[in-house]
Amino acid sequence: MTTALLYPRTLTAAEFAPYGRVLQVPTDGAGGQPINEGTSIRHELLADAQLTAEAGRPVLSISRAQARVLPMALTGMERHALGSQAFVPMGAARRLVVVVAPPGPAPRGLDELEAFVSDGTQGVWLAPGTWHHALLALDAGDFLVVERRAEVVDCDEVALQPPVWLAPPG
């Protein structure tokens, strides 16, 4: 029996749009606003992070991720129906693979998933309800995580049976 593989594609704003946003300074530097007497350029990436539904509050944390070796078996997915979540690399280039499925019914297998690999300078913002795998770093390092917290935990989980195999980026 052959194992079907999920192949990550290059992370682009257009292809990732159904799931959220790519967080990245434009390569041409356009669109920024000078601040601090012109010593900095601010690029606003997201006007509404959607973190306050049902008494939620935004929480910023740093996750120190271990490098993952691909191929690897993906055994589950999760979603946060009431709030968004963002993963942003810190320090030297940190590549990540984002495995996602659209909001709605829980994904059950390979045909319902997409995978994207970042270039090391990109982060992602996952829209509320987007199914996703936990943080998958190709390079060990720190990631800024922004998410919603509340008294009631907002995390639905689903097992992938059989597991889906994630291929190395090509």
The 10s digit of each residue's pLDDT in 66-104 is 999 999 999 999 999 999 999 999 987 678 899 999 999
* Number of Cβ atoms within 10 Å of the Cβ of 56: 19
**CA atoms 122, 123, 127, 130: torsion sign:** positive
What is the structure's pLDDT at 35? 92
pLDDT band at 107 (very low <50, low <70, confident <90, very high): very high
154 to each of 11, 53, 157, how far by Cα in Å? 26, 10, 10
11 to each of 59, 69, 81, how far by Cα in Å? 25, 19, 23
The full 3-state SS of 48-73, as one line of letters, equals CCCCCHHHCEEEEEEEEECECCCCEE
pLDDT band at 1 (very low <50, low <70, confident <90, very high): very low
- Give the domain ranges of the chain: 5-166
What is the structure's pLDDT at 103? 93
CATH node for 5-166: 2.60.120.480
The 10s digit of each residue's pLDDT in 129-140 is 999 999 999 999
Compute φ and ψ for 118, nearest 5 degrees. Answer: -80, 165
**3-class DSSP assignment, residue 111:** helix
The 10s digit of each residue's pLDDT in 11-28 is 999 999 999 999 998 877
